[in-house]
Structure 1
Amino acid sequence: MIQAVDVTKDPELSAKLITDATNLDRMHDLDTPGAWEFDFTKQEKYTFSPGSVVNANAATFPALTKIGMTLAQLNLGPCAMLAPHWHPRGTNLVIAVSGNTTTYMVAENGAKPVITTLTPGRMTVFPQASLHTMQNNGCENAQLISALDTADTGTTNVLNAMFDNIPQEILAASFGIPDFNVEEMKKGVAGVGTGSVMGSYECQKRCGIEGGKTNKAKRVVDW
């Protein structure tokens, strides 16, 4: 399974770029074929089944080392979504390239949720550490571009982090359900995979996906 966690492509080069004394030294280190090009479509995570988050950052694209930015391509197949998550170290701007995507963001306790509809050319912002999620509302692919103000944003998927790491008795108390069964609940939570999972059953039914069965078969191959 391909995980939505970026692995450093060339640790040795990255370490050298971090310690370079001058920009000229840095340019010499990056004087190799392909060092200044990044093809999103050629990355291992790239897929629309059900979707993916492909990051160009210091780990995946060494030329961004010390630049302090991440550019991500968000690919959402029909009814796909990015599950609720946050970036502990980054604010991100998201602009739609194609499709119709609804986003939901909660900044903190007491703040009203912010809901936006992103169609081509429309943009929204998710401040650092804000909880957010988004779903492709259509039966065709949607694509968005996300720019973040750090090369190491970090991502925390809420449900995965909660069910995989918090003791059952704490979750039971939090949900107010004495006989809360973590293992049973976890069965319905998709892994982080390439960063995207199937969205609402209403959308899947409308698009004839039949509860995600169409994409579930593909997911075994792509992830």
Structure 2
Amino acid sequence: MLFSSFTLAALAFVAVNGAPTVSRSSARSAAPIDNSALIAKLKTDATAAEQFQQLLANNGQPLDPSDLAAATVFDFTKNPSPAQGTQGGSLNTAGPKNFPILTDSGLSLNLLTLGPCGLFSPHIHPRANEFFLVLEGQVDFGFLLETGVFGGLGAPNPTISGTLKQHEGTLFPLGSVHWQINASPDCNNATTFEAFSSDDPGAVLILNKVSNDSRVLIPQIEPNDLDGLRAVLPPAILSEVDSCLARCNM
């Protein structure tokens, strides 16, 4: 298949059933709407060469320049989604669903903006390691490893925590509980980039909350959510978010 193993995002992401002779112009125009058929075909191709024929060729020839650019270049500035709990932040994810060349690559990617005091609450990725990189600003992080790493079974399991500044990054191992907070002292936005070692990393939220607006799971927490979550959020996270909200007059 396309590549073999490396990495990225959270969160999730694919138009033709025919042979490589299908018109790529019509397929490419449908790509932003639904890439399901193309993804299904890519997953049944026997070789990586056949996959690239589906993605990059028409009748054995390279696509025209505009279609080739659409197939090979992902623009993280286009169509970002609002990210709850990020205080006005946004999320843009590249994965097979919206960038089919990532199919079977073992890779998915996120570009995330966290507003002041924005928080991603504790969660895990069941199928991927995550490398988290700060492009602008400052982000505090924490994660927990499996029981037995420190002192054997039954021993305390300390939190691994720290602060990432611009151009610094860290690894959240597959299956580890982790979280991130933009508690920067200047109350500015933070921009981060996440790479996952799967094109389907998945996410499991550690906290569940039934909300009046039908959001059952909240992957990021708004300030007005805090009162309802004080009983389940770790005290260290609550303290840091409360201090940030007070410092930033939010």
Distance 1:99 1:198, change over 3 A: farther
What one-letter code is carried by the residue in structure 2 that aligns with 1:67? S
Structure 2 distance, partners of 1:208, 1:54, is 28
- What is the aligned residue count? 181
Residue 197 in 1 paired to residue 245 in 2? Answer: no
Give the corresponding residue for 1:123.
169
Distance verdict in 2 for CA 1:74–1:92, change over 3 Å = same
Q: 2:12 aligns with which of 1, 6, 19?
A: 6
CA contact (8 A) 2:12 2:202 kept: no
For residues 62-95 of structure 1, give each alpha carbon's deviation from its aligned partner in whole angstroms, at most 9, with x where no partner exists.
Answer: 1100111111112101110111111011111111
Q: Pick the structure with greater CA Rg.
A: 2
Q: Are 2:81 and 1:45 aligned?
A: yes
* 2:53 matches 1:28: yes
Q: What SS is found at the alignment partner of 1:89?
A: coil
TM-score (ref. length: structure 2): 0.64
Residue pairs, 1:1-223, within 5 angstroms: 6=12, 8=14, 9-31=34-56, 33=67, 34-45=70-81, 49-109=87-147, 110-138=156-184, 139-160=187-208, 163=209, 195-198=219-222, 200-209=241-250
Q: Which runs of 5+ in 1 are unaligned?
A: 165-185, 210-223
Q: Which residue of 2 aligns with 1:218?
A: none
Q: Does the CA contact (< 8 Å) of 2:138 and 2:165 recur in 1?
A: yes
Q: 2: CA distance between counterparts of 1:151 and 1:29?
A: 18
Percent identity, aligned pairs only, is 31
The C-alpha deviation readout for 1:147-176, integer Å capped at 9, x for no partner, is 11111100011112xx46xxxxxxxxxxxx
How far the C-alpha of 1:196 sits from its partner, in A, is 3.6
Distance in 2 (CA, whole Å) between partners of 1:196 and 1:75 is 12
Deviations 1:24-63 (A, max 9, x none): 3222211362111212221341566432443212223111
Question: Quick one: distance in 1 between partners of 2:111 and 2:80?
Answer: 13
- Inter-CA distance 205–53: structure 2 relative to 1 (3 Å threshold): same
Any idea what SS the aligned residue of 1:205 has? helix
One-letter code of the match for 2:192?
A: L
Counterpart amino acid of residue 115 in structure 1: S
- Secondary structure at 1:152 match in 2: coil
TM-score for the superposition, normalised by structure 1: 0.72
Does the CA contact (< 8 Å) of 2:82 and 2:88 recur in 1? no
Partners of 1:62 and 1:192 lie apart in 2 by 28
RMSD of aligned alpha carbons: 2.5
Which residue is 1:217 aligned to? none
Q: Tell me if structure 1 keeps the 8 A contact 2:11–2:201.
A: no
Q: Is the 8 A contact 1:51 1:196 kept in 2?
A: no
Deviation at 1:6, TM superposition (A): 3.2
Contact 2:95 2:103 survives alignment (8 Å): yes
* Larger proportion of helix: 1
Contact residue 113 and residue 192 of structure 2 kept, 8 A: yes
Unmatched 5+ stretches in structure 2: 1-9, 15-33, 57-62, 148-155, 224-240
